[in-house]
Amino acid sequence: MVMAKKHELAFGIDVGGSGIKGAPVDLTTGEFAADRVRIPTPDPSTPAAVGAVLGELVASFSLPDDTPVGLTFPAIVKRGVAHSAANVDPSWIGTDIAAVAREATGRRAVVANDADAAGFAEVAYGAAKHKEGLVMVITLGTGIGSAMIHDGVLIPNAELGHLEIDGFDAESRASNGVREREGWTFEEWAPKLQRYFSHVEFLFSPDLFVVGGGVSKKHAQFLPLLDLKTPIVPAKLRNAAGIVGAAALAARIAV
Ligand code: BGC
């Protein structure tokens, strides 16, 4: 008899500054098991308002009772509690996000920093699958997110977008948000990325860089401009990475 694997399905939710997106994820393939639903992030994005959206999102799917929920959140997250709040209401700081999700959905839940969840997905199903050693996933968005995964184990809350380089917070010089604001071409952006990635490479000696964030779909226009010792490849899961990574983490560690 073939036994069904425990938790082949988990529900992933990506909480962002403008939208809250969720989908059930098939954990054997790392793909959505149904179309994603997106609800605009409430304004103000307080725990009560976001909690109501989490409940609504999960209730819009018919899921087995034991399907756990995984959440990404743009903050430093320690044991479920937010210790910072990037692009969400500051009242989240000190809030147990996982408890809010449990209360709102009636399910086991786990929460992770957004870049950590995306990085975990790339290792489990994407560009860093089967890669040994230290994988560093760097997401280039409004800010710079980072995830460090060593031999498949996530070391959470790296916050390497905030490294101080040449006297500046790195994400204030090298993020894709800055590129868009300044109207830089990829050629104009490349030296900032070069400075950033060579510094991170020097500090951590990774085995692989994976570059995520929306701009990674244009990787052919800027990754070849970088000169690094470490292989650097685009993310594969693109904007599904947060949901898929959160779901994968939920299946492993949700309580
Ligand atoms: C935040 C990180 C987050 C990253 C990407 C940074 O500004 O400090 O927690 O992972 O942006 O959203």
Spell out the per-residue pLDDT of the chain, length 255, in tens.
444 444 599 999 999 888 999 999 999 999 999 999 999 999 999 999 999 999 999 999 999 999 999 999 989 999 999 999 877 889 999 999 999 999 999 999 999 999 999 999 999 999 999 899 999 999 999 889 999 999 999 999 999 999 999 999 999 999 999 999 999 999 999 999 999 999 999 999 999 999 999 899 999 999 999 999 999 999 999 889 999 999 999 998 877
Distance in Å, CA 115 to ligand 1 centroid: 7
Residue having the nearest C-alpha atom to atom 6 of ligand 1 = 143
Cβ of 122 below 6 Å from ligand 1: no
Burial of residue 12 (number of CB atoms within 10 Å: 0-12, 13-18, 19+): buried
What is the pLDDT at residue 17? 83
Structure tokens at 55: 């409940």
Query: How many Å apart are CA 147 and CA 10, to the nearest integer?
Result: 21
Cβ of 145 below 6 Å from ligand 1: yes
pTM for the model: 0.92
| CATH numbers and ranges of domains, the chain | 2-117+240-253 (3.30.420.40), 130-235 (3.30.420.40)
Burial of residue 224 (number of CB atoms within 10 Å: 0-12, 13-18, 19+): exposed
Cβ of 14 below 6 Å from ligand 1: no
Q: Which residue spans within 66-200 are E strands per DSSP?
A: 69-73, 77-78, 81-82, 109-113, 134-140, 144-150, 153-155, 164-165, 168-169
User: Phi/psi of residue 129, each to 5°?
Assistant: -60, 135
Query: How many Å apart are CA 42 and CA 57, to the nearest integer?
Result: 13
Cβ of 206 below 6 Å from ligand 1: no
What is the pLDDT at residue 7? 54
Query: How many Å apart are CA 189 and CA 194, to the nearest integer?
Result: 9
Cβ of 170 below 6 Å from ligand 1: no
Residue having the nearest C-alpha atom to atom 10 of ligand 1 = 145
Q: What CA–CA distances, in Å, run from 13 to 37, 98, 135?
A: 9, 12, 24
What is the pLDDT at residue 248? 95
What is the pLDDT at residue 3? 44
Triad 102, 103, 104: Cα angle to 5°: 95
Cβ of 243 below 6 Å from ligand 1: no
What is the pLDDT at residue 2? 47
